[in-house]
Amino acid sequence: MRAYLTTIIESGTESYDLEIVEAASGFEALKTLPHHKFDAILTDINMPDINGLELVSFLKNHPVYRSIPIMVISTESTEEDRRRAAALGAEEYLVKPFQAGDLVEKLRRLLRVA
Amino acid sequence: MAREDDRARDEFTSEAEELLDTLSRDLVDFESQGQNVRPELVNKIFREVHSLKGLAGMLGFTEISELSHSLEDMLDRLRMGRIAITRDLIDLLYDSVDSLNRLVIAINDPSLGALVDMTGLTSRIHHIITSQPARVHDDPFAELTLDEQTKKSLTEYEEHRLLENVRAAKHILVLEVTFDFSDFDERLRALTASLSESGEVISTLPAIPTGNVNGIAFRLLYGSTLDAAAVQVLAPDAAVTSLRKSEPGAAAPAALPAPTEIVEEEMSLRSLSQTVRVDIAKLDHVMNIVGELIIQKTQLEALTRASADRTSVQQGRMTSHELGKVARNLDRKLNELQKSVIEIRMVPVGQIYSKLSRTVRKVARELGKEIELVLRGEDTELDKMMVEELTDPLMHIIRNALDHGIEPPDERRRAGKSPVGRVTLNAYQQGNSVVLDVTDDGRGINPENVKRVAVQRGLIGEKDIVDQQRAYELLFTPGFSTAATVSEISGRGVGLDVVKKNLQELKGTIDVISRVGEGTTFRISLPITLAIIQALIVEAGGEKFAIPLTSVEESLRIYSRDIRTVERREVFTLRDFTLPLLRLADAFDLDDDHDHGPDTKWFVVVTRAGEKTVGILVNALVRQQEVVIKSIGERLKTVPGVAGATEIGESEIILVVDVGSLIDHFGGRARETRARAAHV
């Protein structure tokens, strides 16, 4: 089902030729980091292993990864956590459930592409 | 686009079912842990509902998304300690999961959607959320020396857990560990698991390690009954620091209010998805076999080319020898392939256990009986389709046990039994069959009571003798149980005859073993898979038939003079046992000119279906072979004694005998003979 998110992004950003790497947990996310040069990271807050805030905190304190823009995707019930993510340095957030168009729009902004 | 929607819907259904299945299992754990429920479990349940909501929301399944949203909201408060665990809350969780299940099923069958009382559930959730006063949110950091970065990275939930640990007078520690990047996940999981045995890992914050460039560091926030020195022993590689400024105090737990009753409509517990999740290793194995089959095919082609040039007799023999070798190899590989494919279809019966325990809980509540459900053998594997088809009959039998078997608590006390009734479900493999025993420790089946009901229903006369065996048969007779006698629990007038019929369709049998006053066991026996079976090919009346080997006990040769007639019924004395005989040719109305007097040779195939044994009389045994059973279509489905058809080489199509229905239909009186014989 993760692939569904990928599908939305792919269909909305076809012309940019994005490569999307999926990770099912916080650990998986950490493990993929050294293998790619990411232009943007999208993360949930409620995840197994390490949560989204911990991931954001790590990335934003890392000498190499701190410059990668981050979008936190989460639900209304985690409003407070979203505020915390912003305090940790996450650039963008999106509330679930969302429209495909919103996601693509925010992603474009994040990537600074017109 | 429509196809993509279909795919998304199928994917959602399958994923949602899996989520709800895990959720029900977690709820059972949740309930059994009572007030001391592990916070990790509450958080896991929260995450599961959260995932379901997200999935449903994105795909536009509004009702599922809205209900899980409300639930998530309630669970969020629960994990934050803002509401207490009450009976109402537990019931509401169970009911909500039931309703979510229904809604998922309703995606493919919209007529079922109306069964869900959305407004009722939402208002109950709202009631729970609002009826409990919000607790004062203390500052968890007041008593701790916690660095800013860790503090900022805590989620609201983690902050709450930290506070709970501070309140519960736990030691609050920080463990700093550095692992190699290659295997940090495994090592950290192992560490977390060992720490969780004596405490709670509240947060795991990754950090950049000092020194080790190939590594990754983690700061674990840990609440524990152990102090820093003890934890240091558990995690020798970690730097352990205590965060407490002073020695901790104590905290008290809350009380559990009384339960409430909720009665709900029943519905099929069968899951919807036709998909099987397969271990990739199993698929790799199939792939390997296919590769080897291709090699055999190449050899066959080479042989074909070579044999064209071989002209002498000797060369011909060589070709024949080589062909034989390829055929043997092919046979072996095909056998392996068959086994692997069967294995892929297999799923553990435990998959339906959680659904069963949920229903047992509900039914027991409705009946005012206390029931302990014991589930055994959940790893026993059975064909996926069988597992699905089995759910309803199994539930019916369990409901019967709860309703008719287990006595009310008072009656149990008077009989010197524990007031808590026990129902055991045990699954195990026996040869090529899987057996499921549903055992209760209730009042047992009294033949006198069965007779009274059967006479009332007009199934038998006053003077008929009803012994144990006859009583069990009557239970499965159509018309024995009717809506008037069966309470709401045991089903809407659906009797055990339907259960038996369902099981027969699966080529299964059901038997009863009961002792008055001690309890009853319903024993379901099913072939492991329906698709491919070992069969004995026989000949009768000039036609060939396949008899499934699972039903065959033995076969022997007899002469016409060995056949005796008892009460106009042909029998044969097998050792000390009078075996009723059934002429296969007669059963299928075939002309048989085989009998030429007392010296005519016959073969008896001794078959067994459940507790009944009958000798099937045939002219010849052809061979034993594996056959693939094919359905013979809807119109012929009702023909008794036929399980299907199969092809046995060279386009020869023969019927596969269904021993169970053959005995039931043609061997009706055989049972009486046998019962008498057994009593002599």
Q: What is the CATH number of the domain that holds B106?
A: 1.20.120.160
Q: Using the predicted structure, report yes or no on whether residue B255 has a pLDDT greater than 60.
A: no
**Separation between Cα atoms, residue B49 and residue B297, nearest integer Å:** 52
**Separation between Cα atoms, residue B167 and residue A69, nearest integer Å:** 38
Could you give the angle at which helices B39-59 and B2-32 cross, rounded to 10 degrees?
160
Look at residue B647 and tell me if it is in a domain: yes
- pLDDT tens digit sequence for B5-49: 677 777 788 888 888 988 888 888 888 777 778 888 888 898 889
Tell me which of B265 and B339 has the higher pLDDT. B339
Regarding whether B65 and B50 lie in a shared domain, the answer is yes
Q: Which chain A residues are within 8 Å of B63, Cβ to Cβ?
A: none
What is the mean pLDDT of the segment spanning B132-146? 67
Look at residue B492 and tell me if it is in a domain: yes
Regarding whether B330 and B412 lie in a shared domain, the answer is no
Structural domains of chain A, count: 1
Tell me which of B405 and B273 has the higher pLDDT. B405
Q: Pairing mode, if any, of strands B171-180 and B199-207?
A: unpaired
pLDDT at B605: 94
Regarding whether B378 and B512 lie in a shared domain, the answer is yes
Contact B35/B85 with Cβ under 8 angstroms? Answer: yes
- pLDDT tens digit sequence for B375-385: 888 888 888 87
Q: Which chain A residues are within 8 Å of B47, Cβ to Cβ?
A: 46, 48
Regarding whether B235 and B92 lie in a shared domain, the answer is no
Contact B614/B580 with Cβ under 8 angstroms? Answer: yes
Provide the CATH number for the domain around residue B672.
Answer: 2.40.50.180
Please indicate whether, in this complex, the C-beta atoms of B47 and A46 are within 8 angstroms of each other.
Answer: yes
User: From the CA of B72, how many Å to the nearest CA of chain A?
Assistant: 8
Mutate to test the interface with B, among A35, A43, A46 (most CBs of B within 10 A): A46
- Reduce the DSSP state of residue B427 to 3 states and report it: strand
Structural domains of chain B, count: 5
Cβ–Cβ contact B205 with A under 8 A: yes
Q: Which of B394-408, B566-580, B640-654, B658-672 has the lowest mean pLDDT?
A: B658-672
pLDDT at B676: 38
Nearest CB partner across the interface for A1, out of B15, B154, B205: B15
Nearest CB partner across the interface for B57, out of A31, A62, A96: A96
Residue of B nearest to A64 (CA): B208
Question: Which of the given ranges, B115-119, B330-334, B543-547, has the highest pLDDT on average?
Answer: B543-547
Regarding whether B478 and B553 lie in a shared domain, the answer is no
Residue-level length of chain A: 114
Look at residue B667 and tell me if it is in a domain: yes
Regarding whether B202 and B113 lie in a shared domain, the answer is no
Provide the CATH number for the domain around residue A71.
Answer: 3.40.50.2300
Q: Pairing mode, if any, of strands B433-440 and B381-383?
A: unpaired
Q: Point out the domain boundary residue: B297, B322, B347.
A: B347
Regarding whether B84 and B19 lie in a shared domain, the answer is yes
- pLDDT tens digit sequence for B82-116: 888 888 888 889 889 988 988 888 887 776 665 77
Look at residue B335 and tell me if it is in a domain: yes
Contact B473/B509 with Cβ under 8 angstroms? Answer: no
Regarding whether B358 and B310 lie in a shared domain, the answer is no
Mean pLDDT score across all residues of chain B: 80
Q: Which of A25-39, B296-310, B470-484, B561-575 has the lowest mean pLDDT?
A: B470-484
Cβ–Cβ contact A55 with B under 8 A: yes
Q: Using the predicted structure, report yes or no on whether residue B252 has a pLDDT greater than 50.
A: no
Cβ–Cβ contact A32 with B under 8 A: no
pLDDT at B39: 83
Q: Which chain A residues are within 8 Å of B153, Cβ to Cβ?
A: 53-54, 56-57, 84, 88
Token digits of residue B643: 């399980």
Q: Point out the domain boundary residue: B131, B164, B199.
A: B131
User: What is the band of B484 on the pLDDT scale with cuts at 50, 70, 90?
Assistant: very low
pLDDT at B135: 54
Please indicate whether, in this complex, the C-beta atoms of B149 and A1 are within 8 angstroms of each other.
Answer: no
Provide the CATH number for the domain around residue B233.
Answer: 3.30.70
Residue B544, exposed/middle/buried by CB under 10 A (0-12, 13-18, 19+)? middle
Please indicate whether, in this complex, the C-beta atoms of A54 and B153 are within 8 angstroms of each other.
Answer: yes
**Separation between Cα atoms, residue B101 and residue B116, nearest integer Å:** 10
User: What is the band of B360 on the pLDDT scale with cuts at 50, 70, 90?
Assistant: confident
pLDDT at B538: 94
Which residues, numbered 147 to 166 in chain B, qualify as contacts with chain A under a Cβ-Cβ cut-off of 8 Å?
Answer: 149, 152-156, 158
pLDDT at B258: 37
pLDDT at B138: 62
Tell me which of B652 and B515 has the higher pLDDT. B515
Range of the domain at A34: 2-111
Q: Which chain B residues are within 8 Å of A82, Cβ to Cβ?
A: none
Q: Which of B28-32, B140-144, B365-369, B425-429 has the lowest mean pLDDT?
A: B140-144
**Separation between Cα atoms, residue B343 and residue B341, nearest integer Å:** 5
Mutate to test the interface with A, among B12, B153, B192, B208 (most CBs of A within 10 A): B153
Range of the domain at B491: 349-527
pLDDT at B266: 41
Please indicate whether, in this complex, the C-beta atoms of A75 and B8 are within 8 angstroms of each other.
Answer: no
**Separation between Cα atoms, residue B636 and residue B644, nearest integer Å:** 9
Regarding whether B495 and B393 lie in a shared domain, the answer is yes
Contact B105/B11 with Cβ under 8 angstroms? Answer: no
Q: What is the 3-state secondary structure (H, E, C) of B184-234?
A: HHHHHHHHHHHHHCCEEEEEEEEECCCCCCCEEEEEEEEEECCCHHHHHHH
Residue stretches of chain A with pLDDT short of 70: 1-5, 15, 76-78, 113-114
State the CB neighbour count (10 A cutoff) for residue B244.
Answer: 17
Look at residue B618 and tell me if it is in a domain: yes
**Separation between Cα atoms, residue B415 and residue B444, nearest integer Å:** 13
Q: Point out the domain boundary residue: B491, B507, B527.
A: B527
User: From the CA of A102, how many Å to the nearest CA of chain B?
Assistant: 12
**Separation between Cα atoms, residue B241 and residue B231, nearest integer Å:** 10
pLDDT at A77: 62
User: What is the band of B619 on the pLDDT scale with cuts at 50, 70, 90?
Assistant: very high
What is the mean pLDDT of the segment spanning B167-196? 87
pLDDT at B256: 37
Q: Which of B1-10, B301-310, B519-528, B545-554 has the lowest mean pLDDT?
A: B1-10
What is the mean pLDDT of the segment spanning B592-599? 79
Q: Which of B179-188, B276-285, B520-529 has the lowest mean pLDDT?
A: B276-285
